[in-house]
Chains A and B, each alone.
Chain A
Amino acid sequence: EALKRSEEDYVPRRVLRSRSNSSASVNSLDLNESDKQFVPRTPRSRRNTMSTPKKLTSTPKTPKSTLKQLRDGTITPSMQSRSTMIPKDSTPLMKARTQLHVSYVPNSLPCREKEYQDIYCFLKGKLEDGYGGCMYISGVPGTGKTATVTSVIDRLKTERKLPKFDYVNVNGMRLTEPRQAYVEIWKQLTDKTIPWEQAQNLLEQRFTKKKHHTPVVMLIDELDILCTKRQDVVYNLLDWPTKSNDQLIVITIANTMDLPERLLMSRVTSRLGLTRLTFQAYTHKQLMEIVTKRLTGTESFNPDAVQLVARKVASVSGDARRALDICRRAAEIAENENQHQQVSIAHINQALNAMITQPQVMAIRRCSRLQKLLLQAVVAEIERTGVEETTFSDVFRMLVSCCALDGLKMVSSVVAQRALSQLSACRLIITDQKCRDVYQKIILNVSVHDVYFALKKEQQ
């Protein structure tokens, strides 16, 4: 019987075989009848079920067709909207906060008149002349590069005398791969999503063949991300303006001033040209002007407070985003305190302390006693040898003597190692992850002074 059962288990395969062979034995046919429920599972029968007319139940939009429509640009992605209305800003502080938000673009950009004019003249000249060209804009983050360029383009769009142009905006950071730039450009020109090879071919045809389309102004943000080893994407983007009879004006933006010389190949640099513009970091006066222009209509900020923020930020980076963030944080703090309707210097100080803090000292103070002792031992070892890098065995020896000095009972090296790994997890020290034995290398990640400061304050 057991044999029979095992034979029954094999039935479906046998059935198939027997079907394919025209001569079927009686036995197998019998089995087939008894086990009919197995039959639909075979691949062949599955195909049969698929081909049966099922149109009545099928929905009109299969996922595939939705994807296709998306790629063709017939449907656009939409976001779910809120069910409730956003309340309007009631207090002056709230109004100030919304106006201070980084995404709130003001009508005019203060302190960037010269650069604005430079870009405007360049673009206008190119559009009037009917030739393509390139421009390279550099500057540290938060100095208004992209904002200036977009506002110039917005203005050029409204001018009637100039020919109409298409505007393409590519950001290197938004692309998964440099070559996806082709897809993005093509998508913005025609609303269609196609693979990058096809997009490259089509773009090449559009920009190099002699046909007259509308001129295109292309803004390429974060140029350094698009640089690969071959640099083919950057080369092509900068080569099209020189070849095309159609107009293509490329404006490239990056942070590094000497990027063309440092990173790009000589032939790419040659095509990029010498039309360059550098956005300098904002000075404290300019930052003050920016913040006060944002705050027009609200009396919620003390002028001295604004000046403090401007000076603090200008001394470090000159980043306008940072200044606005600090102001917003200060407004939030003032709002929480309720009785104040004006942001004072105290609030600003609080916000500055929150944003520019030194968490290491606090972290060291909150360490366990063993961890503190370990840190002390590391510092002592560094002082003794004068070399920054120490090994665990040396530190442990130092730890033993430290403990003896304080009259504490010594732990085993395993426990010490555990404490060490905890310290390295919160990045107070850096350890070699590869070898975890006594020869593990240890580097202090905070300055020696910070350790002394943290431990001394506590003892007093």
Chain B
Amino acid sequence: MIRVTRSSRRKEELQRAKLEINSNENSTDKNTNLNGESEIPNNHQKSSKPPRSRRPAKSKSSSDIQLLSPVTPPKQRKSNGSENHNAEVSVTPSSLFKRLSLKSPLKKSAVSARASLFNSKQKVENTEQNQEITKGSGSIPEEAKIYSQYQNARKALHSNFPTELPGRENEIKELRNFILGHLENGSSGSIYVSGPPGTGKTASLNSIVQHSDISSKVQQIYINCTAIKSATAVYSRLIRELNIKSHGKSEKDNLLIVEKYLQKKHKMLLIVLDEIDQLETKNHSILYTIFEWPSKPNSRLILVGIANALDLTDRTLPRLQARCELKPNLLHFAPYTKEQIVKIFTSRLESAGVLNVFTPIALQMLAGKVASISGDVRRALDIGRRVIEFIDQNDNVDVLKSVENFTNELTENQAPKTEQDAKPKTVNLKEVVSVLNNVYGTTQNLNDDTEETFPLQQKIVICSLLLMLKKAKNKDITIGKLHEVYSRICRKQNLMAVDQAEFSGLCSLIETRGIIRVTGRKEPRMHKVSLEWNDTEVAEALKDKQLMSVILQDETCLGKI
């Protein structure tokens, strides 16, 4: 529903935009300028402040005094105190220098040095831990084997950037050919990559770009458009990534700087704009300017835009269609099919050497379910990990003991367990199905509890809502009306009814379960209530057929409504 309305709104906007194109063209520049000016002075000040500020002189003088004459106690104490507090923070020339070099290459080396120090430390720690683990496993081989197998499987199913992408060969090839072709020609081009979330758009681009034959020839810039402050700030971000020294005062200046850079002689540029739909503004001026860059002479730029919408360029940028050289190439990443998901799982598990954790039929089930619903590989991996965690958890239920008991348990429970778990458990159909049901059911969490957890008053509220929806003439239900019916029902059932203020709180509590939705802004009594689930789902969730039937049969409670 929401999507439909959104798209229709966009259409409207589009039409409006079409109408206003001519009139707006002048005003767009002004707008960007105005927006930019509010942001950029800050940057400018920041960049220029440290060297110009008065502090260095002051601190210098104080330090000089200290050096020359350690005479007056108060002064000395003051300077000492400030240095004792924090050596880095006290304003000495050296500290200022440190602060200055935050973004300069000098600092980088310092950081890397520190990082390497840190690294080595952590490595040592890691190795120590590994040794510990291996030592521990030496005494209990079976347990450790199972344990490590689960752990390896879990590790293999991570959802970070993968090194290889099975199931995306065609798309990767196409992208590679596109980029390589433009690289060889030295010509510029643009491509728009679309696809639903979790289909490997960013990951495949990442893998292509990291390949040496591309990365050596081209200067790459990756910008995630959600990470920038606003749509207009993309130019200043580009300048920062391009390492251009001069900072413009406004975004308009920044745009000019970027365009000037593109005109000059430079290395081939590959700009990747991830989540490009965040750059949408009212008149799409930013997207238009960016997509026009490749067609400029001498630009030598390959532009890759990534987003979810299939038709972003057609919908928001219809003017690009007019000229062929402006039109971006399109590449769609279709949702993963069942076979592809199975392939991804097998390749990942195989590389970790733990393919036997999953039975083939369990894998098929998992892949089929995910592919039929979303085709999102992140979900598939997530479910895979969940399943392993689920089994792992069932194996060591004793986790929940207080800390002092825990250590004792660890030493004790070796003997009995090894016999039971001599063979590592494999993921079977049953576990996968239970996790899938857990994940994809609406009444997920209400089903698996044997004990009823729905508070009684909330049950009555839902039942009275059902009664009104079924029997009343007027389906327009407000909280006030619902409260009246509810209090009548309560009186009939000899229960104490809550008052109106409490009642709206009750409704919002039910709303958090997703069963109803309360809309409206002003008066709580006038808020509208609508049921989001259907009757059978509600009946399943309530688990109280008796109460429901009693309430639903009694039409007299409705009163005049």
Interface residue ranges of A143-178 to B (CB < 8 Å) = 155, 158, 161, 163
Interface residue ranges of B105-153 to A (CB < 8 Å) = 115, 118-119, 122, 125-126, 129, 132, 151
Instruction: Choose from A266, A317, A386 the contact partner of B560 (Cβ within 8 Å).
Output: A386
Cβ contact within 8 Å between A267 and B229? no
Interface residue ranges of A88-109 to B (CB < 8 Å) = 108
User: Which residues in B have their C-beta under 8 angstroms from that of A5?
Assistant: none
Q: Is A280 an interface residue (CB 8 A)?
A: yes
Q: Is A357 an interface residue (CB 8 A)?
A: yes
Q: Is B197 an interface residue (CB 8 A)?
A: yes
Q: Is A270 an interface residue (CB 8 A)?
A: yes
Q: Is B308 an interface residue (CB 8 A)?
A: yes
Cβ contact within 8 Å between A138 and B512? yes
B559 to chain A, nearest CB (A): 9
Answer whether A356 and B512 are a contact pair too, CB < 8 Å, given A125-B389, A204-B227.
no
Q: Is B26 an interface residue (CB 8 A)?
A: no
- What would be 23 A-B contacts, judged by CB atoms less than 8 Å apart? A60-B78, A74-B85, A116-B400, A118-B393, A121-B392, A122-B389, A139-B512, A161-B132, A269-B197, A270-B379, A273-B378, A274-B386, A274-B439, A281-B455, A283-B452, A316-B458, A316-B502, A317-B505, A356-B502, A430-B526, A447-B484, A447-B487, A447-B500
Cβ contact within 8 Å between B378 and A270? yes
Cβ contact within 8 Å between A445 and B523? yes
Q: Is B251 an interface residue (CB 8 A)?
A: no
B480 to chain A, nearest CB (A): 7
Answer whether A121 and B399 are a contact pair too, CB < 8 Å, given A74-B89, A316-B455.
yes
User: Which residues in B have their C-beta under 8 angstroms from that of A315?
Assistant: 455-457
Answer whether A232 and B226 are a contact pair too, CB < 8 Å, given A131-B155, A243-B160, A356-B498.
yes
**Shortest Cβ distance from A359 into B: residue:** B499
User: Which residues in A have their C-beta under 8 angstroms from that of B171?
Assistant: none
Contact count band on A: 35 or more
Q: Is A449 an interface residue (CB 8 A)?
A: yes
How many A-B contacts at CB < 8 Å in the complex?
A: 177
Cβ contact within 8 Å between B484 and A242? no
Interface residue ranges of B154-198 to A (CB < 8 Å) = 154-155, 158-161, 196-198
Instruction: Choose from B122, B444, B453, B526 the contact partner of A318 (Cβ within 8 Å).
Output: B453
User: Which residues in B have their C-beta under 8 angstroms from that of A133?
Assistant: 159
> What CA separation (Å) do A69 and B91 show in the bound complex?
11
User: Which residues in B have their C-beta under 8 angstroms from that of A230?
Assistant: 226, 278
Instruction: Choose from A266, A445, A447 the contact partner of B197 (Cβ within 8 Å).
Output: A266
User: Which residues in A have their C-beta under 8 angstroms from that of B126?
Assistant: 163
Q: Is A189 an interface residue (CB 8 A)?
A: no
Cβ contact within 8 Å between A317 and B455? yes
Cβ contact within 8 Å between A213 and B118? yes
> What CA separation (Å) do A138 and B511 show in the bound complex?
13
Q: Is A307 an interface residue (CB 8 A)?
A: no
> What CA separation (Å) do A328 and B422 show in the bound complex?
54
User: Which residues in B have their C-beta under 8 angstroms from that of A7?
Assistant: none
Contact count band on B: 35 or more
Question: Chain A: residues with CB nearer than 8 A to chain B?
Answer: 60, 68-69, 72, 74-75, 108, 113, 116-118, 120-122, 125, 128-133, 138-140, 155, 158, 161, 163, 197, 200, 204, 211-214, 230-232, 235-236, 239, 242-245, 255-258, 262, 266-267, 269-271, 273-276, 278, 280-283, 314-318, 356-358, 360, 386, 388, 430, 443, 445-449
User: Which residues in A have their C-beta under 8 angstroms from that of B509?
Assistant: 140, 317
Residue of A108, A130, A197, A448 with most chain B CB atoms under a 10 A cut-off: A197
Cβ contact within 8 Å between B85 and A131? no
A444 to chain B, nearest CB (A): 8
Cβ contact within 8 Å between A117 and B393? yes
Cβ contact within 8 Å between A130 and B308? no
User: Which residues in B have their C-beta under 8 angstroms from that of A446?
Assistant: 500
B383 to chain A, nearest CB (A): 6
Interface residue ranges of B195-236 to A (CB < 8 Å) = 196-198, 224, 226-227, 229
A150 to chain B, nearest CB (A): 16
- Rank and list the top 4 A-B pairs by shortest CB-CB distance, nearest first: A270-B197, A280-B453, A258-B514, A267-B197
> What CA separation (Å) do A138 and B513 show in the bound complex?
9
User: Which residues in A have their C-beta under 8 angstroms from that of B454?
Assistant: 281
**Shortest Cβ distance from B85 into A: residue:** A74
Instruction: Choose from A74, A120, A128 the contact partner of B400 (Cβ within 8 Å).
Output: A120
User: Which residues in B have their C-beta under 8 angstroms from that of A155?
Assistant: 403
Cβ contact within 8 Å between A317 and B392? no
Cβ contact within 8 Å between B560 and A267? no
Interface residue ranges of B74-99 to A (CB < 8 Å) = 78, 85-86, 89
Instruction: Choose from A122, A212, A231, A276 the contact partner of B119 (Cβ within 8 Å).
Output: A212
> What CA separation (Å) do A333 and B526 show in the bound complex?
37
**Shortest Cβ distance from A360 into B: residue:** B499
Cβ contact within 8 Å between A266 and B132? no
**Shortest Cβ distance from B454 into A: residue:** A281
Q: 15 extra interchain contacts, Cβ-Cβ under 8 A, other than A138-B512, A270-B376, A316-B502?
A: A69-B89, A72-B86, A74-B85, A116-B400, A117-B399, A120-B399, A133-B159, A163-B126, A197-B229, A232-B226, A235-B226, A242-B378, A267-B197, A274-B383, A276-B439
Answer whether A275 and B506 are a contact pair too, CB < 8 Å, given A128-B151, A230-B278, A358-B499.
no
Q: Is B25 an interface residue (CB 8 A)?
A: no
Interface residue ranges of B263-280 to A (CB < 8 Å) = 275, 278
> What CA separation (Å) do A158 and B379 show in the bound complex?
33
> What CA separation (Å) do A116 and B401 show in the bound complex?
11
> What CA separation (Å) do A200 and B526 show in the bound complex?
42
> What CA separation (Å) do A415 and B227 show in the bound complex?
60
Q: B480-520 interface mask toward A, CB cutoff 8 Å, 1 = contact, 0 = none?
A: 10011001000000000011101001100101111000000
User: Which residues in A have their C-beta under 8 angstroms from that of B419?
Assistant: none
User: Which residues in A have their C-beta under 8 angstroms from that of B526?
Assistant: 430, 443
> What CA separation (Å) do A357 and B161 show in the bound complex?
57
Residue of B89, B132, B444, B453 with most chain A CB atoms under a 10 A cut-off: B453
User: Which residues in B have their C-beta under 8 angstroms from that of A314?
Assistant: 455-456
Cβ contact within 8 Å between B155 and A129? yes
Instruction: Choose from B226, B397, B453, B514 the contact partner of A256 (Cβ within 8 Å).
Output: B514
Cβ contact within 8 Å between B499 and A274? no
User: Which residues in A have their C-beta under 8 angstroms from that of B392?
Assistant: 121, 125
> What CA separation (Å) do A122 and B154 show in the bound complex?
11
> What CA separation (Å) do A267 and B379 show in the bound complex?
12
B373 to chain A, nearest CB (A): 11
Instruction: Choose from A257, A274, A357 the contact partner of B382 (Cβ within 8 Å).
Output: A274
A247 to chain B, nearest CB (A): 10
Instruction: Choose from A163, A274, A280, A447 the contact partner of B449 (Cβ within 8 Å).
Output: A280
Q: Is B414 an interface residue (CB 8 A)?
A: no
> What CA separation (Å) do A364 and B216 show in the bound complex?
82
User: Which residues in A have their C-beta under 8 angstroms from that of B483?
Assistant: 447
> What CA separation (Å) do A144 and B197 show in the bound complex?
33
User: Which residues in A have their C-beta under 8 angstroms from that of B226?
Assistant: 230-232, 235-236, 239
> What CA separation (Å) do A88 and B89 show in the bound complex?
43
Q: Is B525 an interface residue (CB 8 A)?
A: yes
Q: Is B535 an interface residue (CB 8 A)?
A: no
Q: Is B445 an interface residue (CB 8 A)?
A: yes
Cβ contact within 8 Å between A445 and B498? no
Cβ contact within 8 Å between A257 and B513? yes
> What CA separation (Å) do A200 and B233 show in the bound complex?
14
Cβ contact within 8 Å between A72 and B89? yes
User: Which residues in B have their C-beta under 8 angstroms from that of A242?
Assistant: 159-161, 378
Q: Is B451 an interface residue (CB 8 A)?
A: yes
**Shortest Cβ distance from A129 into B: residue:** B155
Answer whether A108 and B402 are a contact pair too, CB < 8 Å, given A129-B155, A140-B509.
yes
> What CA separation (Å) do A271 and B274 show in the bound complex?
15
User: Which residues in B have their C-beta under 8 angstroms from that of A132?
Assistant: 160
> What CA separation (Å) do A363 and B506 show in the bound complex?
23
Cβ contact within 8 Å between B118 and A283? no
Answer whether A266 and B196 are a contact pair too, CB < 8 Å, given A275-B386, A443-B525.
yes
Residue of B161, B402, B458 with most chain A CB atoms under a 10 A cut-off: B458
B527 to chain A, nearest CB (A): 12
